[in-house]
Amino acid sequence: MKKIIKRKTENITAETTKRTIEKAIKRTVINLFFLFLVFCFAACGGNGGSADTSLGENGSENSVSGSLAENESDGSVSSNDEANVGLSSEENDENRDSEKEGLENDEEAEMENETNILVAYFSATNTTEGVAKTIAEIVGGDIYEIVPEDPYTDADLDYGDDSSRSTLEMNDSSSRPAISGSVENMEKYDIIFIGYPIWWGEAPRIVNTFMESYDFSGKTIVPFCTSGGSGIGSSAENLSALTDGATWLSGRRLSGNASSDTVAEWIDGLGLNIG
């Protein structure tokens, strides 16, 4: 009986041990399988990361390559653009030069076609000066005052004194009082208005000095005078005899206080081609 019980006990113990071992094996297998799965997941995750990294690098390389390609492409376009801009600038420069040359030619043509006018005058008492400035303003001309090198005094202008300077000069047809200064570029003027007061029925001798100082060939000369009552008389005719090759128009006496309208009406009647 004891033996039977002992065998049964041994059988139970053996089965228990077997079951324990089987459970341990199962746990080990499960654990190993779990570890295998973990390893596999880890490996897959690592490969995925590597793949991502590789893609990232490739993407980065591609991006860099793309960037370089774009930069190279941009550089090429930029170079072409610069070349085009350079050509455009050269063309613009040529166009500007052509326009400038055209403007210069136009200006030269305009200058050639432009009528240059000078209003020269002698005025001992400033009476003729006012009329001369009015004429210059109307015609748009330059103005030049005939200034004596030795200015006239009141005593010099005393026509009632037979020994006064003005009287002596007017009684001497060869008298040529010196002039201070001169007209610059007299050759450029086409029309010259010459104004003076009337002294003893004539232009003052200093005006003779002026007329003999320049070449008036090809120029149009318009005389005008101021006086208290005497007309222009033969003064203009006597002055014209001092020049060669000039065209003299009929002159006119104007009062010192002549209005702009009066002066303008006279100028309009001269038939001058004033642009």
Q: Name the residue ranges covered by the structural domains of the chain.
A: 1-113, 115-268
3-state secondary structure of 237: helix
Return d(Cα 123, Cα 142) in angstroms, integer.
16
Q: Is the pTM of this model over 0.75?
A: no
Spatial contact of 149 and 178, defined as CB atoms under 8 Å apart: yes
Contacts of 195 (CB under 8 A, 6+ apart): 119, 120, 121, 122, 123, 128, 131, 132, 135, 223, 224, 225, 226
Q: What three-state secondary structure class fits 199?
A: strand
How far from 1 is each of 5, 7, 8, 10, CA to CA, in Å?
Answer: 6, 10, 11, 14
Q: Tokens 């055209």 — which residue?
A: 102
Strand runs labelled E in the chain: 117-121, 142-145, 147-148, 179-180, 191-197, 220-226, 247-248, 252-253
Q: What is the pLDDT along the chain (275 residues), one digit of tens a residue?
A: 334 334 444 554 556 556 667 666 777 767 777 677 766 666 665 554 443 433 333 444 343 344 434 444 444 444 444 444 555 666 666 677 767 666 666 655 555 567 899 999 999 999 999 999 999 999 999 999 999 999 999 999 999 999 999 999 999 999 999 999 999 999 999 999 999 999 999 999 999 999 999 999 999 999 999 988 778 999 999 999 999 999 999 999 999 999 999 999 999 999 998 86
Q: Which of 205, 75, 228, 82 is nearest to 152 (CA)?
A: 205
CATH number of 115-268: 3.40.50.360
What secondary structure does DSSP assign to 242-274, as a single string? Answer: T-SSPEEPP-EE--TT--HHHHHHHHHTTT---
